[in-house]
Amino acid sequence: MGACGIAAAMLAMPAHAQTPPSTLEKPAATAPDANPVSNPMAVPGFWDPRRRPERPDLSRISVIRFLTETDYPPFNYAGPDGVPAGFNIDLARLICEEIKVPCTVQQRRFDTLVDALNSNGGDAVIASIAATPDMRKRVDFSDPYYRTPARFVARRGNASDVTAAALEGKKIGVVAGTAHEAYIKAQFTEASLQPFANADAARVALKKGEVDLLFGDGVSLAFWLNGTDSAGCCEFRGGPFMESRYFGEGVGIAVRRNNDLLRQALNWAMFRLWEKGRFTDLWLRYFPISPF
């Protein structure tokens, strides 16, 4: 799939990757970054080098049957030959290499994944499932391997900071009814909020100069900035903003409840991949403009 196709597919994050603010307990301690322009090659660090996971008894794992969904590029989709492809699938294969076990990847509709997992149709689901409190009642999760931060985007040449004081009176575009709109209302009270019906309308308004900045999902915005639709108009400003009360606790790999051996093995393998730089290599391959 070409860059244009991926960018178009990422214009709106599916509902399962979103976490409404009402379902989360408290904001993260992460403070907003007021730098006018962030590093486009930034790679997020989800693992603390001081908290190395203990190596579980991997000899008790003979195979890992991963389940994923059918249509959420670039995270998971069917390649030209019908074989599962994408960031999640590549990460699953790297995990199996690290654990040194064979793995399979089966694609299913998203709404069938958890039931298939809990009926022993697979061992783990790697399909960009947000670790919400409701979902935790049905499955256990590995440590997060990515999050969906919020970001500001501005037209090139607009060097405004994104502090509350600097944005006083500025027109900020958001998609109506989203956590991003709620965050701007709560944290940037002196800005002029401009809600739009969808992400496409908000991005067109930014390109035309009808708003000063756009605030939205960093992952989909990264693909828009890297694709042809943006025409090189714009770039990230400040951030990332990752308060969990608004933007979720992160995305992990789901396993059946109380399958502690597999959950610990996944955590150990992902830490090792990050430590060796293999996760970084994978991230930069899929995110040439980082959402972080």
pLDDT bin (cut points 50, 70, 90) of residue 41 is: low
pLDDT of 139 strictly over 60:
yes
User: Which amino acid makes up residue 18?
Assistant: Q
17 or 228, which is more confident = 228
Contact (Cβ atoms closer than 8 angstroms) between residue 45 and residue 274: yes
Contact (Cβ atoms closer than 8 angstroms) between residue 237 and residue 162: yes
Q: Which secondary-structure segment (H or E) carries 152?
A: strand 150-155
pLDDT value of position 25: 27
Q: What is the mean pLDDT of the chain?
A: 85
pLDDT value of position 40: 52
Pick from 233, 179, 224, 219: nearest CA to 200: 224
Percent of the chain clearing pLDDT 90 (strictly above): 68
pLDDT value of position 137: 96
pLDDT value of position 265: 98
pLDDT value of position 50: 84
Per-residue model confidence as pLDDT tens digits over 235-272: 999 889 999 899 988 899 999 999 999 999 999 999 99
- Give the C-alpha separation, 168 to 151, whole Å: 17
250 torsion bin: left (phi>0), alpha (psi -120 to 50), beta (else): left
CATH classification of 3-14+21-42+148-247 is 3.40.190.10, yes or no? yes
- DSSP code at position 277: T
pLDDT value of position 79: 87
DSSP string of 159-173? ----STTTTTT-EEE
pLDDT of 4 strictly over 60:
no
The mean pLDDT value for 271-278 works out to 94
CATH hierarchy code of domain 58-146+250-286: 3.40.190.10
Q: What token pair was written down for 216?
A: 């939205």
Per-residue model confidence as pLDDT tens digits over 89-126: 999 999 999 999 999 999 999 999 999 999 999 999 99
pLDDT of 278 strictly over 70:
yes
What dihedral do alpha carbons 153, 198, 130, 228 form, nearest 10°? -50
φ/ψ of 286, rounded to 5, equals -95, -20
What residues does CATH 3.40.190.10 cover in the chain?
Answer: 3-14+21-42+148-247, 58-146+250-286
The mean pLDDT value for 225-241 works out to 92
Among 27-36, 123-132, 232-241, the minimum mean pLDDT is found in 27-36
pLDDT value of position 170: 94
pLDDT value of position 212: 95
Q: In 3-state terms, what secondary structure has residue 99?
A: helix
Per-residue model confidence as pLDDT tens digits over 148-175: 899 999 999 886 788 899 999 999 999 9
pLDDT of 188 strictly over 70:
yes
Pairing of strands 213-217, 171-175: parallel
pLDDT value of position 113: 97
pLDDT value of position 292: 84
